[in-house]
Structure 1
Amino acid sequence: MIVVTGATGNIGRSLVARLLEEGAVVRALTRDPARAGLPDRAEVVRADLGEETDLTPLLTDADALFLNLAAGGGEAASRLIDAAAKAGVRRIVLNSSLSVTDTPADETNFIARNHAALERAVRDSGLEWTFLRGGNYATNALNWAPAVRESGVVRDPHPGAQGVPVHEADLADVAAVALLDDTGTHRNQTYLLTGPESLTNAQQVAAIGEAIGRPTRMEQISEDEAAEAMSGPHFPIEAARELIRLFGESVDAPLFPVSDAVERLTGRPARPFAQWARDHAGDFS
């Protein structure tokens, strides 16, 4: 059995479907099973990972765990790692971040620091592990959806910032390969996952316009304006400023090179952003 955290999230939903296609037994964790809308073949279990409860029963009879920091935060993730060890889970596949570099620089970056700490906790658990370091998720572009629907104008401090956006279905496909590995090929391996091409923010917005059949464009604003808009109860403004400054560094060149890991692990090329935009055209219309 494979337990999937964040089962109704962008990666988790695709992963549950992919694992079921492969004939796996899946236990999908979600805060609200009644509204999850997951396939009937999945065992959908209520789990509010933020609650101070014993998480071990969620992992009973499980062989592998897909762990996503976004599913409940760092404290919940650490408790899940401990519970996995107690329950006899053999393998953890962790959805980590490209920002982790395995250098002292990890402690100076908000995102890297959190994911690096979680990677250390997984290593220290003694379980088998695979780290999937993704970044610049294509789904980040969904933050532009309200502006695209309202006016077709997206306001951003760095229209020329370059990224290598990766489709959530590719992340799910790679996670499935690692979770289903019965040869040890992916045991204690780290993979850097990107899309197949580098694109600026402005080019991504233009691709969304092509997918929905109407003009879209990007208009530059200040970093302070962007940080105010990005921050919220669960994302401090200082973290938002740090992230925006990091994006600014990618105007001259992408922060991360294009990786071929998706193709190497799945046997097919990573999906381009234009396909992602077509797949999500309804979100922008």
Structure 2
Amino acid sequence: MIAILGAAGKIGYSTARALREAGVPVRAILRDPAKAGRLSAIGCEVAFADLQDAKALAGAIADADSVQIILPPNPRAEDIKGDMCRSIESIAEALEEAQPALVLAISDYGAHLGEGFAMPSMFHMFEQRLRQLDIRRIFLRSAEHMEGWGRVAPAAIATGILPSFHDPVEKQIPNVSAQDVGRIAADLLLRPDIETREQIVHAEGPRRYSASDVAAALSQLLGRTITAEALPRSQWRESLGRMMSASAADLLTELYEVHSRGGLIDVEPNARDVRRGSTELTDALRPVVAVR
């Protein structure tokens, strides 16, 4: 039995589906009962627990051989760092009680960098806390999700201008489809490296993309020209604040400042295991255009 926290999300559902297609029993752990339908439809057992309720989580993952965990930032949290820290501690306490044989944690590019790197630093903390547990673990560090461009795609569709927090707009950034991350996770759960206590894997797409590539993909999908333009630094926080809490906007502003200083968030130096998804940018953005 493999238990998946956050199984209703893009990554979690993709993992669950791949595992079920392989004939593996899956327990999908959700917070919202309204999201259980499609997981039940593919044959998952469903359990319910809040990410910050360690006792409920421990009960939900009890007797699972392997557990996939995820640390989803809440873009509406008033204190996003504090909220993530509470989730980290709750997950760690639940794992310590349940003691599964293997944990696969969805992490982030740059988690090796330590403090001072915004969101990757939160995942550094996540990994460090899990290293305190006497459990075999896989850290699957994901590149920036292609689907994240969906936040600014509506503005591009409406105006013909794709606002970019990356400057210059031709700068190539590691990207990956969230669904590919889920499929890579499923493969790792089915075929873990049984000789190592800790396995670190990086996941990105078939190639790297820039904001200009995103604009070109949207142009292709829409049948009209979309142009990428770098958003002035003075407008970052205000623009992000229209989509998320002030705390989340601050954290993302910090991240884009790292990029703007030339600090590309990338794979760990000398990384030995980088796995590539097959989803191209145009295919990842197709659903965003379809719902316009």
TM-score, length basis structure 1 = 0.85
Q: C-alpha root-mean-square deviation of aligned residues, in Å?
A: 2.7
Write the distance in 1 (CA, Å) between the matches of 2:227 and 2:38: 35
Structure 2 partner of 1:6: 6
**What CA deviation, in whole Å up to 9, does each residue of 1:114-171 have, x standing for no partner?**
1111111212111010001112111111112321332332222422332121112221
Structure 2 partner of 1:109: 117
TM-aligned CA deviation for residue 53 of structure 1 = 4.8
1:125 has 2:127 as partner: no
Q: Structure 2 matches for 1:110-259, cutoff 5 A? A: 110-157=118-165, 158=167, 159-181=169-191, 184=194, 188-231=198-241, 232-233=244-245, 235-249=247-261, 255-256=265-266
**What CA deviation, in whole Å up to 9, does each residue of 1:177-236 have, x standing for no partner?**
122236616751101222222221121121122123332222332112122222433744
Write the distance in 1 (CA, Å) between the matches of 2:257 and 2:234: 10
Deviates more, 1:107-116 or 1:60-69: 107-116
Structure 2 partner of 1:282: 290
The secondary structure found in structure 1 opposite 2:122 is helix
Write the distance in 2 (CA, Å) between the matches of 1:13 and 1:235: 28
Q: Is the 8 A contact 1:82 1:125 kept in 2?
A: no
Write the distance in 2 (CA, Å) between the matches of 1:110 and 1:218: 25
**What CA deviation, in whole Å up to 9, does each residue of 1:247-285 have, x standing for no partner?**
3245xx95436987225xxxxx633323323465424x3
**What CA deviation, in whole Å up to 9, does each residue of 1:25-78 have, x standing for no partner?**
111122212234423211222222234754221111111111111077332232
> Against the structure 1 CA distance between its residues 192 and 52, is the aligned structure 2 distance closer, same or farther, given a 3 Å change threshold?
closer
Structure 1 partner of 2:101: 90
Letter in 1 for 2:18: R
> Against the structure 1 CA distance between its residues 228 and 161, is the aligned structure 2 distance closer, same or farther, given a 3 Å change threshold?
farther
Letter in 2 for 1:57: G
Write the distance in 2 (CA, Å) between the matches of 1:60 and 1:163: 39
> Against the structure 1 CA distance between its residues 187 and 234, is the aligned structure 2 distance closer, same or farther, given a 3 Å change threshold?
farther
Percent identity, aligned pairs only? 23
Q: Is the 8 A contact 1:227 1:244 kept in 2?
A: no
> Structure 1: 5+ residue runs without aligned partners?
264-268
> Structure 2: 5+ residue runs without aligned partners?
75-83
Letter in 1 for 2:35: R
Structure 2 partner of 1:266: none
Write the distance in 1 (CA, Å) between the matches of 2:35 and 2:178: 21
> Against the structure 1 CA distance between its residues 67 and 155, is the aligned structure 2 distance closer, same or farther, given a 3 Å change threshold?
same
> Against the structure 1 CA distance between its residues 175 and 182, is the aligned structure 2 distance closer, same or farther, given a 3 Å change threshold?
closer
> Against the structure 1 CA distance between its residues 203 and 222, is the aligned structure 2 distance closer, same or farther, given a 3 Å change threshold?
same
The secondary structure found in structure 2 opposite 1:89 is coil
Q: Structure 2 matches for 1:18-57, cutoff 5 A? A: 18-39=18-39, 40=41, 41-51=43-53, 53-57=55-59
Q: Is the 8 A contact 1:93 1:132 kept in 2?
A: yes
Write the distance in 1 (CA, Å) between the matches of 2:108 and 2:192: 25
The secondary structure found in structure 2 opposite 1:114 is helix
Structure 1 partner of 2:77: none
Write the distance in 2 (CA, Å) between the matches of 1:52 and 1:90: 18
Deviates more, 1:87-96 or 1:108-117: 108-117
Q: Is the 8 A contact 2:28 2:45 kept in 1?
A: yes
Structure 2 partner of 1:78: 89
Q: Is the 8 A contact 2:102 2:136 kept in 1?
A: yes
User: How many aligned positions are there?
Assistant: 274
Q: Is the 8 A contact 1:137 1:167 kept in 2?
A: yes
Write the distance in 2 (CA, Å) between the matches of 1:8 and 1:234: 26
